[in-house]
Amino acid sequence: MFCPHCGKEMADEAVFCQHCGARNPAAPQSEQAASEQAPPSGAQQYYQPQVAPASVMIYPRQHSLPLVIVLNLIFPGIGNLIFGQTAKGLVMFAATVVLGTGTCGVLWFVSCVVMTIDGVMLSNKLNSGQPIGQWEFFG
């Protein structure tokens, strides 16, 4: 049979449509059957796909990849601010200053290389139309 609510095919014996969650008017109406097969509360009318909240994702935006590279080569992490990884960029830059100073610049240099690669990969992911996480590394 077809769901009277959304029109998609559903099993004749199903109590609820698996597509939209509407009750099947032809299904047995006994309380027990309904309670056993009822979807989790809230799922009946307002099914939400399992995605991360929008606030923690960064969506593709216009940005300059050369600027990301130049900034990350000099101030590792700051380049990531260009495409929106503000907190991560600042934390990585602060970590670079502390660790780089403590190692006479060795870890500063390492961080320059790592963050430049990180910035390029994340920038490319954004440019291909995919969102990235606020704290995502290397895309």
Residues at the interface with Zn ion (CB under 5 A): 3, 5-6, 17, 19-20, 22
- Measured from the CB atom, the residue of 39 and 102 that comes closer to Zn ion is 39
Contacts of 136 (CB under 8 A, 6+ apart): 85, 122
Rounded to a whole number of angstroms, the minimum distance from the CB of residue 38 to Zn ion is: 15
Rounded to a whole number of angstroms, the minimum distance from the CB of residue 32 to Zn ion is: 23
Rounded to a whole number of angstroms, the minimum distance from the CB of residue 123 to Zn ion is: 42
- Measured from the CB atom, the residue of 16 and 93 that comes closer to Zn ion is 16
Phi, psi of 86 (to 5 degrees): -65, -55
Give yes or no for a contact between 51 and 33, defined as CB atoms under 8 angstroms apart.
no
CB-count exposure of residue 71 (10 Å: 0-12, 13-18, 19+) = buried
Residue 108 is given by DSSP the state H
- Measured from the CB atom, the residue of 7 and 105 that comes closer to Zn ion is 7
